């Protein structure tokens, strides 16, 4: 590989990452701005964080969002894992095409359509809009993402592990719980995290399906953003970013540690 190419590579990566991260960095920086004008630096201050915690509406929304996130992610993980199993293990059953279509379509379906259609369903069956409806909507959306994550793990799953377990006398259901589930657990966990984050993040579907008393954080932020950019929103966003970033970083460091340990083990094993 010659040096101009690799210089080009480095430049494109640096510029690309600058583009991805600069807006977020600026947002975080200006959340510590003394001035009320978001774009003019008026000195360092944490006052917006203080006022944030006194904003009851925002705090309520955070609590709603957290509960919706945990419940919907958990249910979605169960349903999504079942869907992934269906997709990888049952290759011939009536309606398989429809099923895989229903799993993959929500991944790219414009949110306005999903949101509107779910709302109309809830109205049609006479379900009052609120906490329950947002949660149901989020389960439907995020289970498809979980299904894709778990499915990609199941595809590379060595089926001979299951055959070995059955060969040694474990019936199918027992084999699933003792062998399959523990082996694909990391994928299920990352599916849960993805589902939780998507739920935390969603504005459009929540706006359609939520009702009074179940305002989620993105809805709250959106309604304030429409009124103008304020350092307080910057502060709220910074906290959200921090929470997610810390979670992701811890997860990936733990993952990396395990990976390194594993490599060391493997090297040790090769030496005898």
Partner 1 sequence: MKSLGSIRRDFAPWNDPNAKPYIQFDKVTKKFGDFTAVNNLSLTIFEREFFALLGASGCGKSTLLRMLAGFEEPSAGRILLDGQDLRGIPPYKRPVNMMFQSYALFPHMTVEKNIAFGLKQEGMPGADVEKRVAEMLKLVKLEQFAKRKPHQLSGGQRQRVALARSVAKRPKVLLLDEPLGALDKKLREETQFELMDLQQELGLTFVVVTHDQEEAMTMADRIAIMDKGEVMQVATPAEIYEAPASRFVAHFVGNVNMFEGKVAEHTTSTTRITGATGAQIVVDNGSNAAAGSDIVFAIRPEKIRVSSKKPADAVNALEGEIYDVAYLGDMTVYHIKLDDGQIVRASALNASRVTEDPLTWNDRAWVSFRPDAGVVLAR
Partner 2 sequence: MTDIAATAAPSTETATLPAKLATGFVNRLVIIVPYLWLLFFFLVPFIIVFKISLSQTAISMPPYTPVIGFKDGVSGFFAGVRELNFDNYTWLTQDALYFNAYVTSLVIAGISTILTLIVGYPIAYGMARAPATIRPTLLMLVILPFWTSFLIRVYAWIGILKPEGLLNQVLLATGLISQPLVILNTYTAIFIGIVYSYLPFMVLPLYSSLEKMDYSLIEAAQDLGCPPAGAFWKITFPLSLPGVVAGCLLVFIPAVGEFVIPDLLGGSQTLMIGKTLWNEFFSNRDWPVSSAVAVILLLVLTIPIMFFQQAQAKAQEQSK
Contacts to partner 2 from residues 192-211, by CB under 8 A: 197, 200-201, 203-204, 207-208
Closest by Cα among 197, 184, 222 to 82: 184
Report the nearest approach of partner 1 to the CB of residue 154 (Å). Answer: 15
CA pair distance 257, 134, nearest whole angstrom: 37
Q: Count the alpha carbons within 13 Å of 219 in the hemisphere toward its beta carbon.
A: 23
Among 158, 212, 227, 228, binds partner 1 (CB under 8 A): 158
For residues 156 and 272, which CB has a smaller minimum distance to partner 2 in the complex?
A: 156
Is residue 77 part of the contact set for partner 2 (CB under 8 A)? no
Is residue 257 part of the contact set for partner 2 (CB under 8 A)? no
List binders of partner 2 among 96-155 (CB under 8 A).
Answer: 96-113, 116-118, 120-121, 123-124, 136-137, 139-140, 143, 147, 151-152, 155
- Cα–Cα distance list, 145 to 65, 75, 81, 159, 270 (Å): 19, 13, 10, 23, 38
Residue 242 structure tokens: 């921090």
CA pair distance 132, 82, nearest whole angstrom: 22
Is residue 128 part of the contact set for partner 1 (CB under 8 A)? no
Give phi and psi for 44, each to the nearest 5: -80, 140
Is residue 258 part of the contact set for partner 1 (CB under 8 A)? no
Binding site for partner 1 (CB under 8 A): 158, 160-161, 163-171, 174, 179, 182-183, 262, 265-266, 268-270, 272
């Amino acid at each position: 590989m010659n040096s101009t190419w690799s210089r080009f590579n480095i430049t494109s990566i640096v510029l690309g990452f600058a583009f991805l991260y600069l807006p977020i960095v600026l947002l975080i920086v200006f959340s510590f701005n003394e001035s009320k004008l978001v774009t003019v630096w008026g000195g360092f201050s944490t006052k917006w964080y203080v006022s944030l915690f006194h904003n009851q509406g925002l705090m309520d929304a955070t609590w709603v969002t957290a509960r919706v996130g945990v419940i919907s992610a958990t249910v979605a993980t169960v349903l999504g894992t079942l869907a992934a199993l269906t997709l990888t293990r049952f290759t011939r059953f009536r309606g398989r095409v429809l099923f895989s279509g229903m799993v993959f379509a929500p991944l790219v379906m414009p949110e306005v359509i999903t949101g509107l259609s779910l709302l109309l369903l809830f109205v049609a069956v006479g379900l009052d809009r609120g906490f329950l409806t947002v949660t149901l909507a989020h389960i439907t959306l995020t289970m498809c993402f979980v299904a894709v994550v778990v499915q990609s793990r199941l595809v590379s799953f060595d089926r001979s592990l299951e055959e070995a377990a059955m060969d040694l006398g474990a019936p199918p259901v027992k084999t699933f719980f003792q062998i399959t589930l523990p082996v694909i657990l990391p994928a299920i966990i990352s599916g849960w995290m993805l589902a939780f984050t998507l739920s935390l993040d969603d504005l459009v579907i929540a706006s359609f399906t939520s009702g009074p008393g179940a305002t989620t954080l993105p809805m709250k932020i959106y309604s304030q953003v429409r009124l103008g950019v304020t350092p307080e929103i910057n502060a709220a966003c910074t906290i959200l970013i921090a929470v997610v970033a810390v979670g992701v970083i811890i997860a990936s460091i733990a993952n990396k540690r395990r990976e390194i340990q594993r490599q060391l083990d493997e090297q040790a094993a090769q030496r005898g």
